[in-house]
Structure 1
Amino acid sequence: MTLQRPESIDAALALLAEGGGTILAGGTDVYPALRDATPPECMIDVTGIEGLRDISLRDGIWRLGAATTWTDIVRAELPQLFTGLKLAAREVGSVQIQNTGTLAGNICNASPAADGVPTLMALDTQVEIMGPEGRRAVMLQDFIKGPRAVDLGAGEMITALLIPDRAGQGAFLKLGSRRYLVISIAMVSAVIKSDDGVISRAAISVGACSPVAFRATALEEALVGADAAAVAGLVQAADLPDLTPITDVRASASYRQDAVRTLVTRTIHQAMEPPHVAG
């Protein structure tokens, strides 16, 4: 196995075009996935590429470089829209994992319990991809096709995550068997815009309760015009067709079915709280 450290996206794409290469950034998913298997012919370390770890706002779009780490997110000065993402960042493994693991790596791993996916989905994130055919962008919910399956073709790599800048406050809650260093039983992210205590826009995502995290679109529509007191009733009555939890060593399907609605209600309430309380 060889290790290459390209200094530009074009150089990285050229290496990918040769075949047999694997993109390496944080390595927190790549190396454990190898186990005893034969390593790839070439590891392509993209952490030296300029701009791939930048966070910037331009023309109403936040651009988070693909190699941005979870610690970068925690430390970045971002608006309340990103409060949920910051909270999720603190839940990704240990501090050591947060220091090296990247946003792009988390979504490429495509685990049903990936902590970053629901929060990024609630932010209407697009995945920017570069490859032999040039640049393309795809919504995150379309990029993740299933467990460990993503819309990334041969010779392609993620270069950034693109998030529209808008009013609203984010929130994130995770249910596990203990507070930290645990795989989720269920998790919920919300972005809520409220005016005088009344919801004017809502985005709700649920993770670890289906093969792929999903947006609760029917609930989002029902929440518009509601105040905090009405939230619990609307959540309990909501049709959540994508909520298809399994029974595993962490929890039963029936427990997840019940628990997730409570979690959704609490997350929405958190996103409606004053910023100094929610953050």
Structure 2
Amino acid sequence: MTGPVYHRPTTLQAALERLAERPLVVLSGGTDHYPARVGPHAEEAVLDIGGISELRFIREEAQAFVLGGRTTWTDVVEAELPPWFDALKQAAREIGGVQIQNRGTLAGNLCNASPAADGTPCLLAADAAVELHSVAGPRRLPLADFLIGYRATARRPDELLTAIHLPKPDRPAASRFLKLGARRYLVISIAMVAATLEVDDGGAVAAARIAVGACSATAQRLSELEAALVGRPAAPGLGALVSEAHLAELQPIDDVRASAAYRRRAARTLVARALEDVVRVPAEAEENAA
């Protein structure tokens, strides 16, 4: 079969069988798909997965939370989730307007693989993995391995991203998302940061996961900074530890929104502020409890 075609299956199995037959453009919420096709464009063969209800869920398991491939940003905002989800909830509230949040999906955001995708740093900071399905069965990849370049992923043409797995932290954890843009709402990021800290019984950082978006072809974890934070008191002043060297993994560019130099300076400031905000969360919780 050649030429334009439109499929809207209602089961995952039917969708996978269609993908096995020929390459198709996968359409979920459509919030990235349609804006990219304003004006003349080539006709496409489309697989609309919007009718597959079995892929829309948020489920708690023994070791992880699992978000289905059709889970929307509004679903995340409205769900009862532990505090380490706060960064993802904060990002979800800044994905376009409410209409976009109602339609757009986390999986679609990942598959679009924009460097400025707001959800990606939060999911990296949550140590997320993605589940991909084909007619041959499922496979799972760490999110960092799924995102392989500018608007490029490791998804094969015969696969669907069916779920996102977020492992539960080993210790009490908190997270924070910060975004810099030219205005408050409906804006593409100049730089953004997500930070997750796990704290041990002595009040020290036991694990740190920090990711920066819009400053490289894909969002990047700051591995050297994460290692430097372990063992430090999870207290005000933590942000002062962030140095220029900790951002060496970033590769910002000059574009119409900002220069590379500005992005790098902004990222350092956002990382420091995010860390200060994260350590403030447990302190405020203790004060409220008292």
- Structure 1 residue 20: deviation in Å? 4.2
Instruction: Output the CA distance in 2 between the equivalents of 1:241 and 1:140.
Output: 21
Q: Which residue of 1 aligns with 2:7?
A: 4
Equivalent position to 2:18, from 15, 19, 33: 15
Q: Which residue of 2 aligns with 1:134?
A: 137
1:259 and 2:262 equivalent?
no
1:198 and 2:204 equivalent?
yes
Instruction: Output the CA distance in 1 between the equivalents of 2:236 and 2:283.
Output: 21
Q: Deviations over 1:161-200 (max 9, x none)?
A: 0110123111100011111111111000011122454322
Aligned pair count reads 277
Instruction: Output the CA distance in 2 between the equivalents of 1:158 and 1:80.
Output: 26
Tell me if the contact between 2:23 and 2:158 (Cα under 8 Å) persists in the aligned partners.
no
Instruction: Output the CA distance in 1 between the equivalents of 2:120 and 2:67.
Output: 14
**Percent of residue pairs identical:** 50
TM-score by length of 1: 0.94
Q: Which stretch shows the higher mean deviation, 218-227 or 84-93? A: 218-227
CA change 1:202–1:136 in 2 (3 A) is: same
Q: Deviations over 1:53-112 (max 9, x none)?
A: 100011211110011000111001000010000000011111111110000110111111
Tell me if the contact between 1:16 and 1:22 (Cα under 8 Å) persists in the aligned partners.
no
Q: What amino acid does structure 2 have at the position aligned with 1:186?
A: A
Instruction: Output the CA distance in 2 between the equivalents of 1:239 and 1:69.
Output: 33
Equivalent position to 2:215, from 202, 209, 220: 209
Equivalent position to 2:194, from 189, 193, 197: 189
1:26 and 2:29 equivalent?
yes
Instruction: Output the CA distance in 2 between the equivalents of 1:231 and 1:276.
Output: 14
Instruction: Output the CA distance in 1 between the equivalents of 2:254 and 2:244.
Output: 23
SS at 1:232 equivalent: helix
Q: Which runs of 5+ in 2 are unaligned?
A: 286-290
- Structure 1 residue 13: deviation in Å? 0.6
Q: What amino acid does structure 1 have at the position aligned with 2:260?
A: A
Q: Deviations over 1:247-273 (max 9, x none)?
A: 111111111111211100111111112
Tell me if the contact between 2:244 and 2:268 (Cα under 8 Å) persists in the aligned partners.
no
Instruction: Output the CA distance in 1 between the equivalents of 2:21 and 2:37.
Output: 21
The 5 Å alignment of 1:147-166 reads 147-166=150-169
Equivalent position to 1:101, from 92, 99, 104: 104
Equivalent position to 1:46, from 45, 49, 72: 49
Q: Deviations over 1:135-170 (max 9, x none)?
A: 101111111111111111121111000110123111
Instruction: Output the CA distance in 2 between the equivalents of 1:183 and 1:276.
Output: 32
SS at 1:51 equivalent: helix
TM-score by length of 2: 0.90
- Structure 1 residue 215: deviation in Å? 0.5
Instruction: Output the CA distance in 1 between the equivalents of 2:150 and 2:284.
Output: 35
